[in-house]
């Protein structure tokens, strides 16, 4: 059996006539002509294969089939109206799911504060990925992707700077207690280096401030990792010295799990940016999470 092809404007015209008992008043309420309303009802009756109204010169009354269809039509239109209102509310209030992809090393900086974000935005559901791979924000459907370092130009993405980052050397108190003292950059060659391999496959050198000049140091590593959180964890358990972003190291510094090594060689690092797919106006839910991220990293 063929499915009836219904038209929502025709259904709205039918409901308007049923509620007012008049084609003329329905047309006035709908901002159209009596002729258009009459044609809409005729089309609907033709598709349904039944008469919906009994028409006389003095009155318009629903048939039994019309009464049955009116109940379903009103329910459908009310559902669409409720959905439209809900979608409008989503534009103004943070409601719904936000998919966020951040570097793995940001885990300790961000995870302990999610309950605070939940208190601020109780109707936001966060889907969180923590990885150092270069995910495709548009293709994989992410709402926000956080990147550290240089960005390729992409017209499909809106870029917002979140913060500047400083590169510093860190080690655990235990490692420093059982190792030779570090009083100058030249002493680093005698220590165990923990090195990060970036998504490009290149080992990331250490960048040191040498009296105002930026100098690269590529120490011989005792451990190479390609996961930012693994680099932090390896440093915390005392495997050696690593160069970390100051933002991600701060929670471990505050708890005493890490100690900064040679603060005098701290150097400016890359900036952190948020990438948001371009297009329509940013939803309130995405803007809320983005602003929260910026506050955490500022």
Nearest to 239, CA basis, from 192, 183, 280: 192
The structure tokens listed for 99 are 């998919």
pLDDT of residue 90: 59
Which pLDDT score is estimated for 232?
Answer: 94
User: Which residues of the chain have a pLDDT value below 70?
Assistant: 1-6, 85-92, 135-139, 151-155, 279-280
If one looks up domain 8-92 in CATH, what number appears? 1.10.10.10
Residue 5: CB atoms within 10 Å: 7
Q: Judge contact between 256 and 173, C-beta under 8 A.
A: yes
CA atoms 86, 90, 92, 93: torsion sign: positive
pLDDT recorded at residue 177: 95
At 96 the pLDDT is 87
pLDDT of residue 154: 60
Where does the chain hold its CATH 3.40.190.10 domain(s)?
Answer: 96-164+271-297
C-alpha 137/C-alpha 63 separation (Å) is: 55
| Domain 166-268, CATH | 3.40.190.290
Q: What is the pLDDT of residue 136?
A: 66
Beta bridge pairs of residue 207: 216
Tell me the CB-side half-sphere exposure of residue 250, using CA atoms within 13 A: 12
What residue ranges of the chain are covered by domains with CATH 1.10.10.10? 8-92
For domain 96-164+271-297, give the CATH superfamily.
Answer: Periplasmic binding protein-like II (3.40.190.10)
| pLDDT at position 152 | 64
Q: Which of 224, 204, 208, 227 is nearest to 216 (CA)?
A: 208
| Residue whose C-alpha is closest to residue 199's, from 152, 153, 272, 132 | 132
pLDDT at 4: 46
Residue 3: predicted pLDDT: 44
User: What is the pLDDT at residue 292?
Assistant: 87
Q: What is the pLDDT of residue 279?
A: 66
């Amino acid at each position: 059996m063929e499915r009836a092809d219904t038209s929502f404007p025709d259904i709205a015209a039918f409901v308007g006539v049923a509620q007012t008992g008049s084609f003329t008043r329905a047309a006035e309420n709908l901002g159209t002509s009596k002729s258009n309303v009459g044609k809409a009802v005729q089309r609907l009756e033709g598709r349904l294969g039944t008469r919906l109204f009994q028409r006389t010169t003095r009155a318009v009354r629903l048939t039994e089939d019309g009464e049955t269809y009116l109940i379903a039509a009103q329910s459908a239109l009310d559902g669409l109206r409720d959905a439209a209102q809900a979608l409008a509310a989503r534009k103004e209030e943070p409601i719904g799911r936000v998919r966020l992809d951040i570097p793995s090393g940001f885990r300790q900086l961000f995870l302990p504060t999610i309950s605070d974000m939940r208190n601020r935005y109780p109707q936001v559901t966060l889907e969180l990925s923590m990885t150092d791979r270069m995910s495709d924000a548009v293709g994989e459907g992410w709402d926000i992707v956080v990147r550290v370092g240089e960005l390729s130009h992409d017209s499909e993405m809106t870029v917002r700077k979140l913060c500047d980052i400083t590169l510093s050397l860190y080690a655990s108190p235990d490692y420093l207690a059982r190792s030779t003292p570090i009083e100058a950059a030249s002493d680093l060659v005698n220590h165990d280096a923990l090195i990060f391999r970036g998504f490009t496959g290149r080992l990331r050198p250490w960048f040191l401030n040498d009296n105002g000049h930026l100098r690269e140091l590529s120490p011989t590593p005792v451990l190479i990792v390609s996961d930012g959180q693994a680099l932090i964890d390896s440093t915390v358990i005392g495997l050696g010295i690593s160069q970390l972003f100051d933002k991600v190291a701060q929670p471990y510094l505050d708890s005493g799990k890490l100690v900064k090594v040679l603060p005098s060689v701290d150097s400016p690092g890359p900036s952190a940016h948020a990438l948001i797919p371009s297009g329509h106006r940013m939803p309130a839910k995405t803007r809320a999470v983005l602003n929260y991220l910026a506050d955490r990293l500022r």
